[in-house]
Amino acid sequence: MSPVDPEEPQAAGDFWVVPAFGEGADDSVRVTVAIAVDESDGLQDTDVTVELLADGTALTVAEQPAAGPLPTIGLAGANAYALYRFDNPDRLTPATVTVTVRGGTAAFDVSSPVA
């Protein structure tokens, strides 16, 4: 897999997704996933999963979306947001994030910066 700009949306089945990263305050990595939706999609927390690999290790999910519908923001279109936090006590370098929405998957290689 070649490095992919994590700000460039990819298709995960019928949905376009893009992750954003940040460091948590307690040796963790935060991943926010924006999912392009129609108002009728009604995505739920159970419709989305995120896996984060760092240095060959799957990091443990420490926080995930609250049960129920994902929050959405409507501007020119609408995006649902899924917020995750992964424990990273060894401060491993994130390499791949995989987003699955209703069975469709998109993988983002975040191991190398994209110019």
Domain ranges of the chain: 10-109
For 16-68, the pLDDT digits (tens) are: 999 998 887 788 999 999 999 987 788 999 999 999 999 999 999 999 999 99
Tokens at 1, concatenated: 């897999």
Q: Considering the entire predicted model, what is its pTM? A: 0.84
Tokens at 52, concatenated: 């984060």
Torsion sign, CA atoms 104, 78, 71, 73: positive
Tokens at 70, concatenated: 């994902």
Please name which of 50, 47, 53 lies closest in space to residue 33, comparing C-alpha atoms: 50
Any idea which residue has 């929050």 for tokens? Answer: 71
10-109 folds as Immunoglobulin-like (2.60.40)
SS3 45: helix
